[in-house]
Amino acid sequence: MAKATALELELLEKGIPRAPLWRRLLRLAGSQPLGVVGLCFIGLILFCAAFADYIMLHNPQEIAVGPVSEGPSWSHPFGTDRLGTDTFSRTIFGARIAMIVGMSAILFGTTTGSAIGIASGYFGGIVDSILQRLIDSLLAYPAVVLLLAIIAVVGDEDSPVKEFLREPEVHLGFLGATIPLGPAGVIPEGTVWGVPNFLDVIVIALAIGLAVAVGTARVVRGAVLSLKENMYIEAARAMGASDFRIMLRHIFPNVAALVVVLSTIFLPIAILAEAAISFLGVGVPAGTPSWGADIGDPSNRAEAFDGSWWVVFFPGLALSIVVLGFNLVGDAFRDISDPRLRGGGGGTPGM
């Protein structure tokens, strides 16, 4: 009796003993083998993106590093194209481009989107109406068409967006004054981390980010609408907190988890979007070793048509692996959170 009480006390004190974390994770992994495969795919691509410099055999842009239009061999595992560029190196480096564009798009898109969504939901009234009608009309375009329209506007060499990124300053025409917002060349135009034409690549990422922001804003606003009715918001206001402080300290932390989930959903979509528009020839500048650009490049396509299939096969395979990885992990998470709906819904339409 006394022994049982001691055990009860111990249980009360320490909680019901559970298996160690690593064992629980292992069990979870065992129940979701496909999810683990997906994680491995994502890990592989992240590894390639981070350590591309050490994995690549040649400079991905250098021509004549090997024989011209040769199939896969030991010295060129993925073959070479008509200029003797190493397809393996281009494919590995493509991971870095995909990740830089994807992550910048997500970073820009979810930040802007949550800011707009929080403000719209929190203030309500006329601010909400205007912002929501704006979002309505942006959602009235099919996603790919919206993206192409944004690209058509910002992709121009003298577009205001590029001008702004070169020299971040605001011209106030009516005052005749110029307000600098940052040093010129914060985003360099040359090669950064081995990525050529860095500024142009970032512009593409921002365009995709804008489309991401529209989706994020709508979802975040919905969450904020119910959040702001909570008692603690009223308490904060009663204590004299400003609107800005309430939004930043009380509302944002509560939607942060949602935003993280949205980011993981949007990341593969953003990577696909970059590949799709680069494939169409309106994305990253010609010659950039991006997967989409390599598949879509007219001379690569002509070459593949004539038998050198490897120049388009491997970049596309890498792209498919990333998207597959994210989808598998997403499915696994859905199964864990709701085992009734094994394999339902989701996906990335239209790409």
Partner 1 sequence: MRTYILRRLLLIPLIMLLVSFMTHSTFRIIPGSVAEIKCGLQCTPQLIADTKHEYGLDRGFFEQYGSWLGVYTNEDGKVSGVLQGNFGKSFLTTLSVDGEIQDRLPVTLELMALALILSLLMGIPPGIISAIRPGTPLDWVVRVASVLWISVPSFYLGILIITFGASWFGWSPPNFETGRAVPITEDPIKNLQTYFFPALVLSLGIAAVIMRLTRSSLLEVMRNDYIRTAWSKGLRERSIVWRHALKNAMIPVLTIIGLQVGGLIGGSVIIESVFALNGMGNYLLVSIIARDLLVVQSLVLLFAFVYVLINLIVDVGYAWLDPRIRYG
What residues between 123 and 142 interact with partner 1 by CB under 8 A?
Answer: 133-134, 136-138, 140-142
Nearer to partner 1, 41 or 122 (CB): 41
Comparing C-alpha atoms, which of 120, 116, 55, 114 is closest to residue 89?
A: 55
The one among 46, 123, 301, 333 contacting partner 1 by CB under 8 A: 301
Q: Least distance in Å: CB of 215 to partner 1?
A: 13
Task: Give the binding-site size for partner 1 (rule: CB under 8 A).
Answer: 58
Q: Least distance in Å: CB of 351 to partner 1?
A: 6
Dist. CA 292–CA 211, nearest whole Å: 19
Which DSSP state fits 167?
S
Q: Alpha helix locations (H) across the chain?
A: 2-14, 21-31, 33-50, 52-55, 87-123, 125-139, 143-154, 160-166, 198-227, 231-238, 243-245, 252-279, 291-296, 298-305, 310-337
What residues between 151 and 180 interact with partner 1 by CB under 8 A?
Answer: 151-153, 156, 158-160
Q: Does 33 bind partner 1 (CB under 8 A)?
A: no
The one among 203, 267, 323, 329 contacting partner 1 by CB under 8 A: 323
Nearer to partner 1, 247 or 272 (CB): 272
Residue 261 CB-half CA count within 13 A: 10
Residue 277 CB-half CA count within 13 A: 28
**CA distances (Å), 279 to each of 78, 198, 325, in order?**
20, 18, 21
Say if CB 296 and CB 278 are below 8 A apart.
yes
Say if CB 183 and CB 206 are below 8 A apart.
no
Q: Does 109 bind partner 1 (CB under 8 A)?
A: no
x/- letters, 262..281, toward partner 1 (CB under 8 A) = ----------x--xx--xxx
Q: Does 149 bind partner 1 (CB under 8 A)?
A: yes
Instruction: Please choose, out of 63-71, 77-85, 182-190, 304-312, the segment that lies near partner 1 by the rule CB under 8 A.
Output: 304-312
Q: Does 350 bind partner 1 (CB under 8 A)?
A: yes
What residues between 195 and 234 interact with partner 1 by CB under 8 A?
Answer: none
Dist. CA 118–CA 247, nearest whole Å: 7
Which residue matches tokens 């959903």?
265
Question: By the criterion CB under 8 A, which residues form the site for partner 1?
Answer: 34, 133-134, 136-138, 140-145, 148-149, 151-153, 156, 158-160, 272, 275-276, 279-282, 295-296, 301, 304-307, 309, 312-313, 316, 319-320, 323-324, 327-328, 331, 340-351
